[in-house]
Chains A and B, each alone.
Chain A
Amino acid sequence: MADHGISNSIKKHRFNNGEMTQKALAEKVGVTRQTIVAIENAKYSPTLELAFKIAAVFNTNIEAVFEHTTSSDS
Chain B
Amino acid sequence: MSHLLRATYASMATSSIIFLVYAFVVFQVVGVSYFTGPDALVRIGKSLGLLIIAGYAFEWSVQIATLAFGVKRTGRPFKELIVDEREKQIVYRSLSISLNVICFGIVLSVGALAMGWEAFWVFHIIVLFYALAVATELLCKIYFFRRGF
Contacts and interface: CB of A to CB of B under 8 A. Distances in A.
Given A32-B2, A34-B2, A50 B85 contact: yes
B75 interface: no
B82 interface: yes
A35 B147 contact: no
A4 B145 CA distance: 22
B39 interface: no
Contacts of A47: 85
A43 B85 contact: no
A21 interface: no
Contact of B148 (A30, A31, A41, A50): A41
Interface in A27-74: 30-32, 34-35, 37-38, 41, 43-44, 46-47, 50
Interface residues of B, number: 10
B87 A32 contact: yes
Nearest to B4: A32
B7 to A, nearest CB: 13
Contacts of A46: 85-86
Interface in B90-144: none
A44 to B, nearest CB: 4
Given A31-B82, A32-B86, A44-B149, 4 more contacts: A32-B84, A35-B86, A37-B148, A41-B148
Interface of B: 2, 82, 84-87, 145, 147-149
Interface of A: 30-32, 34-35, 37-38, 41, 43-44, 46-47, 50
Top 10 A-B pairs, shortest CB-CB distance: A43-B148, A38-B148, A31-B84, A44-B149, A35-B86, A32-B2, A44-B86, A35-B84, A32-B82, A44-B148
